[in-house]
């Protein structure tokens, strides 16, 4: 089995203005320190990307945008390109978050277009997938996830896919306080790794990091990270507090 370095990612969503984001970045930088055995990433709002990147220089904390557009330039009012994100100092970008799918019309096709653009710009894409509560109740979890993986990653070479991170976020668990049981999480993550192996290649599947997201806290992170196919976490609300997020990052201690 390939060795996969865990990634702990914090999605700040629509929280913290520029000043608050910079202050929080300095707090995190101090709390986490320069020595960590996991990769760490935070995703501020678009308006705070550049100052947060500047604040986190010299630290092990990477910065991601929460979304992006697939075109590099043109008459696309209000959109942000991968190149613009990269120019701020970002190294990562979140693509296909369930809130983008649910409220802003994101589809597997647009996820695929954004993914290709992100890779061309040299960004590490964190591609979100997950089933709704209704889909879960109808027994469609694996069908939905298989489609999201195959359509979202369609047309990419093995070299391109090597840097892709998957993030499984059951929609019914995001911000609800409900976390999938460890058995459920492991079952889904093992299925996702097999889906990648079947449609792409086994070596790539073994190397690909698959994160779990959905009401992750300092109190449940160690149990989740003990699962064989969980390679990190995409954290929402708990990433907005220094003590909480640094506790998640240092789950081994």
117 is in an annotated binding site: no
92 is catalytic: no
12 is in an annotated binding site: yes
Under DSSP, the state recorded for 121 is T
236 is in an annotated binding site: yes
Here the tokens at position 60 are 């092990």
- Structure-token match 């979202």, residue found: 152
172 is in an annotated binding site: no
169 is catalytic: yes
220 is in an annotated binding site: no
Q: What is the length of the chain? A: 253
13 is in an annotated binding site: yes
Catalytic residue among 92, 131, 169, 189: 169
Grouping H, G, I as helix, E, B as strand and the rest as coil, residue 40 is strand
Alpha-carbon distance 213 to 192, whole Å? 14
11 is in an annotated binding site: yes
Distant-in-sequence, close-in-space partners of 202: CB < 8 Å, separation ≥ 6: none
Dihedrals phi, psi of 227, to nearest 5 degrees = -75, 140
Catalytic residue among 92, 97, 131, 189: 97
Binding residues for substrate: 11-13, 175, 215, 236-237
Binding residues: 11-13, 175, 215, 236-237
Residues marked as catalytic: 97, 169
């Amino acid at each position: 089995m390939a060795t996969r370095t865990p990634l702990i990612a914090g999605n700040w969503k629509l929280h913290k203005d520029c000043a608050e984001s910079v202050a929080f970045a300095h707090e995190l930088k101090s709390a986490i320190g320069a020595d960590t055995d996991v990769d760490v990433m935070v995703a501020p709002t678009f308006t705070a990307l550049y100052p947060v990147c500047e604040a986190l220089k010299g630290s092990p904390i990477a910065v991601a945008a929460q979304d992006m557009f697939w075109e590099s330039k043109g008459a696309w009012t209000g959109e942000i390109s991968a190149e613009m994100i990269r120019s701020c100092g970002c190294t990562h970008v979140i693509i296909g978050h369930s809130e983008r799918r649910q409220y802003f019309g994101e589809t597997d096709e647009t996820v695929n277009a954004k993914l290709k653009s992100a890779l061309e710009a040299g960004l590490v894409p964190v591609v979100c997938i997950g089933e709704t509560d209704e889909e879960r109740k109808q027994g469609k979890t694996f069908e939905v996830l298989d489609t999201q993986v195959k359509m979202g990653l369609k047309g990419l070479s093995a070299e391109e896919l090597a840097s892709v991170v998957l993030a499984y976020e059951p929609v019914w668990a995001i911000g609800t306080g409900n976390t999938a049981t460890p058995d459920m999480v492991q079952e889904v993550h093992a299925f996702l790794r097999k889906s990648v192996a079947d449609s792409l290649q086994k070596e790539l599947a073994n190397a690909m990091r698959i994160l779990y997201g959905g009401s992750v806290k300092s109190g449940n992170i160690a149990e989740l990270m003990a699962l064989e196919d969980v390679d990190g976490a995409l954290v929402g609300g708990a990433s907005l507090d220094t003590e909480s997020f640094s506790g998640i990052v240092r789950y081994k201690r």
